[in-house]
Structures are given as structure tokens and as C-alpha cells.
Amino acid sequence: MIKRIFLISLLGLECAFAQTYTPQISRGEDLTEQEKIILSTLWLKSGHKQEWQEKTPDEVVIKPDEKPIPTPAPIPTEKPMSAGQKKIQEMMAANKARIKAMREQEKRDEAAQPNRPETLQEKVANNLKKNREKVQATRQGWIEQRNRTWEKWKMARDHFLKKELPIVKEQTFNLGEGAPYSSKKKLMKPLKVFPKDDVILIKGSLNLPVRTQGQRPTCAAFSAIRAIESILVSNGQNIDLSEQYFYYASKPDCQRSPCLTKGSWVNQSIDQSFKSTKADIPLEKNCPYNPLPKPGNETQIPLMNQCHQGAVKISNYTKIESMNEIVNSLQKGYPIIAGFKLSPNFYETEGLVTLSDSNLSGQTDAHAGGHALVLLGLMKLPADLYRSEGRYCFIASNSWGEGYGVGGYSCLTEKWVQRYRVRNPFIAISSVQKDRI
């Protein structure tokens, strides 16, 4: 059972022409029903025996003042009663019984009277009964909603495995192309940061729609846009940004003339946005994504004029190389764009992606060049997995639709991440700016 849960909330600071959003930690009692269903499902799929429960405020127990216990006085020896005293005791007991019977009859008579006011005792009892019924109805309603969601995910999963999986396998590519490599020593450095919280999550990030990249190798662009949108939604800014533009921006060699090179990493487009003096990333409605490829024209140029009407820019980011940096960044609420080689068990996971399962099914998939995801939080693993998988798994959002994993999400164990991550640094986005739309 989760004892603590922190959500990452983001606050906006006013600028002259734009608003900048940066993270701060807040308590997580305000989860939506969708977030509860996703987290509770990942919790169970991660091997926990007890169901996940949303954090509730700690109960304050007020202890009474302790008073010294007096030394008991000696109990005098009872003297035998006389016949007269026994008679008096019997009469008193009979009188008490008659009074008790009269009071019980009065209560029954009062209960039979219509429109009588409730007694204080009855009010307390009725309120307790109503509260129990309300909690039970709420719990039952949530279970029914969760079961409906599970059924929807199952249908989407069946479609994904039968129809879409062969397509997405063909969209992996060399994520390391054009990106600097991290040292292997940093990548394999053991985790020394251990959050006390059972779950850390960017506030509201699981409420965004799960996207699908379709038949194009645009996973890195989808991950970057999802990271930016997660920062915005945690401030109540639900904004749909353009993956079409971000993929174009990540391939500067393919902006003036069509090119054949598939895929991209995000370092160039993120650095371009960071250095831009104005908002450069447009809204989806102004630069809509095309899920179908254009042979020989990866960036699908020329883009529409509206694709250059920026609404948001990246104002700060950090390169992430070690496992400790991943955990530290997630504790601060920074979404992390991460690249991996894919093991066969990744594709058909039911939620938890483990190193143990990857060893059973093979090291990497024959098609797997690389794939990008965005890490939105972390979750503690059961103690019996610590040795084989590490202490945590990382909550990841994919761009393969709701049929993948748990409604589009999975949790990647520490050991799996260390084994299958690509060598180019991950990127944590720490703040973004939004123009007044």
C-alpha cells in the first residue's frame, strides 16, 4: 500500500511577453480518476500484492493527559447481610428492572410516533450510516469505471498487437546519430538516491491524450512535445503542440530540400528552441501532424506558413547521463526525454518492463535501432524485485496509442533502463515559456 505520494506541480512566473513555467513539489490528494486508474494498474502490474491507494492526510491522534494512578485502598472484608438487608436489596433490584422496562417502552412508543424529531444519538448513528453508504457507493463506482477502462484498453491492445505492432517495429532508427555520447562509466554508475515516496509523478501528466506516431519514425519529436505539454498541463495549461514542426526542427539538413534519412534525436531542436528569442513551437491546429509518410521527403516540406507561428519555447533544459541524475530530475518534476534499444518484451508488455523478461526473450529485437519515450515519474518496486530489477521503475509515456502497455504507459525497471538505454544523454526539460495565446 502506498504510504506517501508526491505529485509535481508547476507554477507560472510572469515575464514581459510570455509566461515561464517551472516546477515545485505539492501534495497529491487531487488525482483525477484517470490518474488513479493508470497508477493503480501499474502498481498491480509491478507485482505489489495490495491495491494502490491514493495518499490521505496523516491522522492526528490526540492522547489524553497521563495522570498518576493512585494506590488502591485495601478492600474491606464483606460482612454477611441480615435477612432484612437481603429483602431490601431484592426490592431495589426489582425496582430498577421495572424502571428499565418503562424507559424501553417509552423509546418504542416514541419511535412509533410520526414526525418526531431525531434524538442526538439517532442523528449520529444515521450520519455514520450515510457516510458508510457514500464511501461504499464511491468505491463501487470507481471499480466499475476502472473495469470499463480496462475493457477499453484490452480492445485497443488486441488491435495494437494484431495490426499496429509490425508497423511500429519498422519505425525504430539509430537514435545516437548526431548526438554526443555519454561515458559508459556514468551510465552504469549505481543508484545512490533513494526517494522516500512510493510514487513521484508530474501533476496532471497522465491526463493528456495518448498520441500515436503512425507510420513515421517521429518518436523523439512526440516525446519532446509530450514533455513540454506535461509542464504546461501541470499549471492548468492544456495546450496541444505540433509534433510535425518539432520533427522538422530536429532535422536542419532536411529543411530546405527533401531528404531520405529517417528519424532524429531531439538535441538540435531543443537547443534551437532554447536559443530562440521568441516562441518557436506552434500549436497542433496551426501545424497538424500527418501520420502517413511522404516517400523521399521525411520532413514533409514545405511546411504551411502557420507552422512558423510559435506559441511556446523551451527556456531551460539539462542533459542527463546517470541513474542518479534521472531520479533527481524526476524528484524536481522535470520530464525526461529518453532513448532506448528495445528488447522483445518491451513491445508486448502488460505494464512492467523488466530485465529478467528481456533475458528470457532475447537481448534486443532484430528490428530495434532505437526508440524514444518520455519519463514522467517513478514508482517503488516490491522488495522481492530489488535484487533483480532495482528499487524503482520509471513511468514512461509512449507514442503507440492506448493499445501499448497500460493505456499507452509502461514502467521501466532500473536494471532494464541501465541495460537498454542508448549512449547519448537523456534530456530533462526544466522550464518552458508560453506566449499569451
pLDDT tens, position by position, 387-405 = 999 999 999 999 999 999 9
- Superfamily of structural domain 21-52+142-435: Cysteine proteinases (3.90.70.10)
What cell was used for 267? 538535441
Between CA 100 and CA 215 the distance in angstroms is 83
CB 281 within 8 A of CB 310: yes
> 34, 32, 29: which is closest to 54 by C-alpha?
29
Mean pLDDT, the chain, integer: 86
The confidence score (pLDDT) of residue 437 equals: 66
pLDDT tens, position by position, 207-233 = 999 999 999 999 999 999 999 999 999
The confidence score (pLDDT) of residue 55 equals: 65
Q: Is the previous residue joined to 302 through a cis bond, with omega within 30 degrees of 0?
A: yes
- Strand residues in 189-327 grouped as ranges (E): 199-202, 312-320
pLDDT tens, position by position, 44-62 = 999 998 887 766 555 444 4
> 73, 92, 71, 68: which is closest to 81 by C-alpha?
92
Element containing residue 5 per DSSP (H, E) = strand 5-14
CB 13 within 8 A of CB 23: no
User: Where along the chain do its domains lie?
Assistant: 21-52+142-435
The confidence score (pLDDT) of residue 13 equals: 40
Residue 322 has pLDDT above 80, yes or no: yes
Q: How many residues does the chain have?
A: 437
Q: How many CB atoms lie within 10 A of CB 38?
A: 24
pLDDT tens, position by position, 98-147 = 888 888 887 777 767 766 677 777 777 777 777 666 666 677 888 899 99
> Residue 308: which pLDDT band, with cuts at 50, 70 and 90?
very high
Q: Is the previous residue joined to 282 through a cis bond, with omega within 30 degrees of 0?
A: no
